[in-house]
Each structure stands twice: as C-alpha cells, then as structure tokens.
Chain A
C-alpha cells in the first residue's frame, strides 16, 4: 500500500476560445496569442493513489469527473500541473470502443488489444483466457452484429481486463450485463486489487462507493472539495446536494469518538432539540438494543421561523453506510402544517428492533416535502448511533432478523 502509482499535482484544464480559429493555429507556431476566453473545467486538483488502493471519484454532473479521467488516461492534455503514472493504465470506460460489427469477436479482440498496444504474440497468448472469460460459446467466431449488447459487453470486458494494469479506471459502464457477469467482473477487479492494481471508480451510486472504495474524492466545480474516508465524503456529498438548492445552508462535519462521522447541514428554520432512543416499556434511554426489543425513537423539534409545512424523515444505516430502512412523514401522510416560530413538535417512532447484530445509525432530516432538495431545515447524518446485540435468539448473520423457523422431517427409505 505504500508505493505510489498515480500522482496528480496541481492539475488544471482550460478550454480555450479564440477570436478566430486561425489565432489558435498561429499559436502552434510560436506566435503568442491571448485566447478570447478561457474556461477552466478543472483546477488545482492534487492527490496520489497508492498501489492496491481503491479510490472513488464522486461529484455532480459537470463537476469535472470525466475531464479528470481523460487527463489521467492521457486523451486530454493538461493545461497546468501534471500527472505521473507508474505502470500501465487501463480504462473500462467505453466498453466496445472501436469494435467493428462486421467482424467476429475474435477479430475484434485482436483489434482492441492491439489498440491497447499489445503485440500479436501477447494477444494470441491471452486469447484462450479471454474466450473462456467471456463465456459466449460459439458466438465468439460470429460477426459482432449478431451479438446482444450484453454479449458485446462480455467480450469487451474480457479483452480490456485480459492483462492486469497497474491502474484500472472503472466507470458506471460496469453496471451493464447480467448479474452473473457483473459478479464475475467484480471478482476479477477485486483480484486485480489484491495483486496490487489501484482502482479509480467513477460512479453516482453511493452504495458502490462505500463497499468498494478505501477513499473517496469529491469533485465540485472542478475542484477536489473533499478527499477522505467513504462515509465522511458521501455524507458531505449528500449535504452538498442540498446546499445547491438552499443558499444559506451550512455544512459541518465532525468525527465522533466511536468512529461515526456526524454531518450536519441545513438552513435552520427547524432544528432538532433532542433525539433519543428509549425502551418502550421502561422509558429508559438505551444505546444497546436487543434483537426483538420494543423501542421508541423520539425527536423533539424546535421551530425558529414560521414554516408552512414540516416533514421528518429517518434513514437507518448500517456500519457500511448501506440504508437498511428509511421513510418520512410525507410518505406516511402525517405532514405537520402551519408552524409558528417558538413552537415545539414531538415525533415518536415506535418499532421492534428486528435488526441483526452490529452498529447502526439514525439520520434524521427536517424538510418540507418528500426530498431534502427543496427546503433542508436540518439534516443530521448519523445523529444517533446504537448497537444491536443478539441475546436469546439462535445465532444469525445479516442486518435483519426474520422470525423464520426450520421445519425438518425425516422420511424413511424410498
């Protein structure tokens, strides 16, 4: 994990506009021309990736993710800063680029691998492996126009990953294909990682980011806004989406002693005064809950300004950041209306803990509709953390307790 395979320092890319294209052409021949306009899509981005590390790159559309990837792979040239790469870089970006539909899978593999710079010998050597991995049988020697899109994807993926690169760029392209092949390709990527390949993931799926990445970089308006552990950056990203819609919103982040990251954002018309979990029978506050225990989640909300509507939403997440359950009072049709400054609203949520053993967190959100994008009064990621422990039930794994029973019958010899 120590050796650095990718180092990006002060990277910036500007697209230049000239008053006339001829000025651009003169500029190649050493005549200095000041461009009419420079549009920076990426600026001052620096980070490094160690061998075997998986780094996620997230950001909204237009944040500069694609530009960054193109600069790293080298199809675009940086305006400033530099990218240092030690080893070969492969990208699963546009699977099937350069395939000719009239040619067979085999011929296209030769062509595509040639495009990656491999010699005929190397390709011939890897071909049986590629054919086996793609698992498309006799179709491998049929023209590609007869393939389904999934089959094309399989051949393309098999070809791109036939040779282990030092850096692998994975786009959302990977989410096509059937689930069998998806598992297979993720397995291969995981193997590469174990062998020391660094991964760069670009995705909008926060779930993927949290399961696959060791680190996440958040790009916004061409700058690396955050670079850190997945849960921290993902929560920040969610808060940032809200900020876009709510101008005077503030985002605070703080890592607690127990390792959970607390992200708070909101405009503050309504805030949580108290948020606690208590036992349904004894009314005692609990931080440790047994599987099957009846508990009440209480939220006391203070109103600081007149608001027409208030919706409380909950998100229950496991340690990996996966959402286990979530809903809000908009969906349950329990919207509180016409609130005045100074009022206090108490929400109680009674539930039976049917969660599996582990650590969980509640993230409440005070909003006005079904999403936090319209009005985000307050959003607190991981505001309440509790542990679930299994006492009394037989051992089980997973995040849910299903009250399932085995029914076993022994039959005689048939």
Chain B
C-alpha cells in the first residue's frame, strides 16, 4: 500500500496534468466545452422540476412558502448523485478503455483511478458553484451549514471510488459487470430520495431506503444546502468506517488484480 501511494506521489505531476488535459480536451472543438458537465445535471433537475413540481412541492416539510423549494431540493440531491455516478461509471470501464496503455507503458496504475477522481471532483466543484449561483437567482440564500458540502463531497467520492474500483477490476475479467452496473445505478437513483421526499415512501419501505448509503449522504446534502441544518452525523458515523473498509478492500483487490489484469486485457 505504501509503495502504491509513493509511486502515485512520484507521478503527481502526470496525474495533475492529466486532469488538466482531460478538462482541456472537452473545450477543444466544442463551444461550451466543459460547461456541458454542468449543464447536463442542471437540465435534468430543471426537467424534473417542471414535471413534478406541483406534485412534490407540498410534500417538502417546512418549505411550502418557497415555490422553488422543490427545484432546490432536486439540485442538492443531484449534486451528490452526479459525483457518485460519474466516478462509478468512469471507473467501470477505466481499465478496459486504457488497456492498450496498460499493456505497452509502465506507469503506476493507481494513477488512472486518481485521475478520474480528480477530474470528477473538479467537475463537481464547478457544478456546486453553478448551483449556488442558481440558488441566488431563485432567491434562496444558503445558510452557514452549506460549509459541510465539501466534506460530504469527499465522503461521496470515497464511497464511489471504493465501489467503482471493485467494479472496474471485476469488469476486466467478467465483462457482464459493465452491462449490469448502469442498470443497477439507474435503480439506485430511484432508491435514493433525490427526486422525491422520503415521507412519500410507504412506512414499510422506509428502512430499505435507509439501507442505501447514498440516502444518508443525499439527505446530508439536502440538510446543508436547503434546510440549513447539520448533516446526519449518526448515519455518517456508521458510514464512515464502512467506507474506509470498502476503500481499503478495493485497493487491496486492485493491487492483487493488477498483476493479472494485463494478461486478459
């Protein structure tokens, strides 16, 4: 583990410049370039808001006075989910996409997930800033609790990286994984209270909702950005060690697998 981190440190320059390059690549020959990364989730939020606003707005506790409350609620959840799904989706095909590079050139393989993590984080920060601007336009001034968001991003990132690495490694050997994951991810989106408030879910199903780690995270985002309350510390307190174990396990698996990964790519 130590030498893995050490080699990543030696390649820090490459990792940083790759993140930069990836971002720059989006702007080449595309007028809006990287802005599309922000436009997509915002547009999605806008669509949901348009379609579901009437139905959902009344269900949000204590925010009935703001007619944009639902849009704000949506965007808070979207911010968390877009980071989560971007990291997983990109990790999933990461080693397959870079198969040629892995076969031909020697470099610390850990750089690849780190580049994905870095660039996803950067995209998400831009989205976060854009959302704050939109909040301002909608007349919602975020409270001090919004300062929790960067920390929540790190938690989301760690969870997504842990899951993504495991799936990405498995996908090299069992390609079905790559087909199943997007479907499961879609399902996960609807199993997380992003579009709806948890109180519309029948009482019997609510514990199931809370078994989803993203529920805890998304609700903490909503607390910080919309309700101006502290994150769900109890939930996060449970989640934190679990994520650490997952991440540690994922790195061990990645390390063991990387010897054989090139054999089958």
Contacts and interface: CB of A to CB of B under 8 A. Distances in A.
Interface stretch (A112-120, A198-206, A240-248, A367-375): A112-120
Contacts of A120: 13, 17
A70 B103 CA distance: 8
A28 interface: yes
A288 interface: no
B1 to A, nearest CB: 15
A335 B24 CA distance: 68
Contacts of A386: none
A22 B257 CA distance: 12
A119 B13 contact: yes
B25 A102 contact: yes
Interface in B63-107: 100-107
B170 to A, nearest CB: 7
Contacts of B17: 110-111, 114, 120
Contacts of B25: 100, 102-103
B28 interface: yes
B262 interface: yes
A93 interface: yes
A115 B14 contact: yes
Contacts of A143: 28
B263 A25 contact: no
B257 to A, nearest CB: 6
B24 to A, nearest CB: 8
A110 to B, nearest CB: 6
Contact of A24 (B24, B106, B107, B173): B173
B151 interface: no
A256 interface: no
Interface string B17-32: 1100100110011000
Interface size class of B (residues with CB under 8 A): 20 to 34
A21 B102 CA distance: 20
Given A24-B260, A102-B28, A114-B14, A75 B170 contact: no
Contacts of B2: none
Contact of A98 (B105, B259, B262): B105
Contact of A111 (B18, B102, B259): B18
Contacts of A406: none
Interface residues of A, number: 34
A60 interface: no
Interface in A58-96: 70, 73-77, 89, 91, 93-94
A40 interface: no
A76 B18 contact: no
A414 interface: no
A98 B99 CA distance: 11
Contacts of A16: 260, 263
Interface string B251-265: 001001101101100
Nearest to A122: B13
A107 interface: yes
B20 to A, nearest CB: 10
Interface in B106-143: 106-107
A98 B11 CA distance: 16
Contacts of B257: 25, 28
16 contacts: A16-B260, A25-B173, A76-B262, A98-B105, A102-B28, A102-B29, A111-B18, A111-B21, A114-B11, A114-B14, A114-B18, A115-B105, A116-B107, A117-B10, A119-B13, A120-B17
Top 9 closest A-B pairs, CB basis? A28-B256, A114-B14, A77-B259, A21-B173, A74-B106, A102-B28, A94-B104, A21-B174, A119-B13
Interface of A: 15-16, 21-22, 24-25, 28-29, 70, 73-77, 89, 91, 93-94, 97-98, 100, 102-103, 107, 110-111, 114-120, 143
Interface of B: 10-11, 13-14, 17-18, 21, 24-25, 28-29, 100-107, 170, 173-174, 253, 256-257, 259-260, 262-263
Given A89-B106, A102-B29, A114-B18, 7 more contacts: A24-B173, A70-B262, A74-B106, A77-B259, A97-B104, A114-B14, A117-B107
